[in-house]
Amino acid sequence: MELSPVSGTGNSASRSRSSSVSLPPLLSSQFTSSRTDQKKAKAISDAIDRSLRADKEQRQKEGGIKLLILGPSETGKTTVLKQLKLLYGRRGLDYERETYRRIVHLNVMKAIQTLAEALEEADISLEHPENTAHLETIMRLDATLKRFSITSIGFTNPAIPRKITDAKAETDMFTEMVPAIKALWADAGIQTIFKTCTQLCIQDSAKYFLDAIDRIAHPEYVPMDDDILQARVRTLAVTEHVFPIDNVVYRIYDVGGQKSLRKYWAPYFDDVNAIIFMAALSAYDQPCEDDPGLNRLHECLILFNQIANHKLFELTSMILFLNKIDVFQRKLDSGSLVSMYFPDYQGPNDYYNTTIFFQHRFLQQCKDLQKQVYTHFTHATDTNQMRVIVVAVNAIVQRLNLRTSGLL
């Protein structure tokens, strides 16, 4: 994927805007060479510097900080935004609960469908033969689920067709499927597939939702915060979110990570203060959905190389989130070898050594050896961890932004 360079206008416009500070004319004849006059001149000069500094700080606060969240699809970008809404949004996640009810239902049906397909492909038998009828019911979901959209709502993009959805039809379909879902998830055959197929392209929250099927299937079900954080939503548009963090306004943009959507990223590259790049460590043993011949984490490395070395981001703070460490740990524990997918890694197949390896691989992508990349190993659905990380990221972004502006 080739990211087209865009001419930067935001920074130059900001620099060319005249200051609101009124500067007195300093004529050479105004002061003599006496020590007293020199002190007066320095006092005036210092006062002007302080005024200019205060003016810059005020403009910075008014304009806020522009932050992009970039990365391939299914790396956790939208989950980070949901955490920010929960931690800093005026209404948290309340206004989204009804929408996420149908998304959770669709997530559950998609998860059991993926497991059912994998069971057939692996030619593994069900523990209880009477569940065969349920398996056939779930297998028929494929064509039906494609009619429904699980996407976020953002700025209109004419390149993306609008899908027609029917919330009632989805709810009715889910209700009909509940007995089959419960029976299959309890079957040892499906459990074997779930535990042994680490390369299975299944949403990370599958177990979380399938274990809670009785609660989710209740007629009065309302998604909890954790449900919304775990729910999988595909971003097919650019969404802008505004959050006040530590008295600074952040304008955060989330963009779709699919290859077909990356050509729409460029217009948002201008005048960016910081970038959070998301990579899912757990994808080290998975193929790309739209390119089965390409490893997902290899794709992350390629994309990070393009972003980190883009000419518009030479002075932009770069923050790397190596995400989904919980799933990554689970895969390592199950025996999935990093060396099978990254042959240049020959160390122990443990969390400590493999994470150092992957961090080093990402940092190697920066051609500018002086460029600072701040790395965090993240579990984006863990609110407590994300609260600490957001505070750290905010401190980094503000400090680097002040330095870039000449205030430090």
382 appears as a binding residue in the annotation: no
79 appears as a binding residue in the annotation: yes
324 appears as a binding residue in the annotation: yes
- Kindly give, in sequence order, each residue whose CB lies less than 8 Å from that of residue 194, ignoring residues fewer than 6 positions away: 115, 200, 202, 206, 207
Amino acid at 226: D
Sign, CA dihedral 310-312-316-321, equals: negative
42 appears as a binding residue in the annotation: no
* Active-site residue, 359 included: no
280 appears as a binding residue in the annotation: no
* Active-site residue, 314 included: no
Instruction: For strands 248-254 and 239-245, give the pairing.
Output: antiparallel
323 appears as a binding residue in the annotation: yes
101 appears as a binding residue in the annotation: no
325 appears as a binding residue in the annotation: yes
319 appears as a binding residue in the annotation: no
231 appears as a binding residue in the annotation: yes
8 appears as a binding residue in the annotation: no
Q: What is the largest CA-CA distance in the chain?
A: 103
Q: Tell me which of 83, 170, 187, 232 is the catalytic residue.
A: 232
338 appears as a binding residue in the annotation: no
Give the Cα separation of 318 and 292 in Å (integer): 29
Give the Cα separation of 218 and 223 in Å (integer): 11
Q: Tell me which of 151, 171, 191, 258 is the catalytic residue.
A: 258
* Active-site residue, 79 included: yes
Q: What is the DSSP string of 86-97?
A: HHH-SSTTGGGH
404 appears as a binding residue in the annotation: no
Cα dist from 152 to 25, 162, 163, whole Å: 55, 12, 12
Q: What is the DSSP string of 130-155?
A: GGHHHHHHHHTHHHHHTTS--B---S
Give the Cα separation of 237 and 327 in Å (integer): 27
Mapping DSSP to helix (H, G, I), strand (E, B) and coil, where does residue 323 land? Answer: strand
Q: Tell me which of 79, 137, 286, 381 is the catalytic residue.
A: 79
Q: Tell me which of 96, 170, 227, 254 is the catalytic residue.
A: 254
* Active-site residue, 232 included: yes
Q: Tell me which of 60, 74, 101, 262 is the catalytic residue.
A: 74
311 appears as a binding residue in the annotation: no
Q: How far is CA 370 from the centre of its chain?
A: 25
248 appears as a binding residue in the annotation: no
Under a CB-based contact definition with an 8 Å cutoff, are residues 357 and 303 in contact? no
Question: Can you tell me which residue has the tokens 């089965």?
Answer: 292
257 appears as a binding residue in the annotation: yes
Give the Cα separation of 240 and 253 in Å (integer): 5
* Active-site residue, 258 included: yes
215 appears as a binding residue in the annotation: no
Sign, CA dihedral 335-340-342-343, equals: positive
Under a CB-based contact definition with an 8 Å cutoff, are residues 239 and 119 in contact? no
Under a CB-based contact definition with an 8 Å cutoff, are residues 163 and 149 in contact? yes
39 appears as a binding residue in the annotation: no
380 appears as a binding residue in the annotation: yes
Tell which residue, 299, 281, 326, 319, has the closest CA to residue 68: 319
Indicate the annotated binding residues.
74-79, 204-205, 229-235, 254-258, 323-326, 380
User: Binding-site residues for Mg(2+), please?
Assistant: 78, 235
Active site residue ranges: 74, 79, 232, 254, 258
Annotated binding site for GTP: 74-79, 204-205, 229-235, 254-258, 323-326, 380
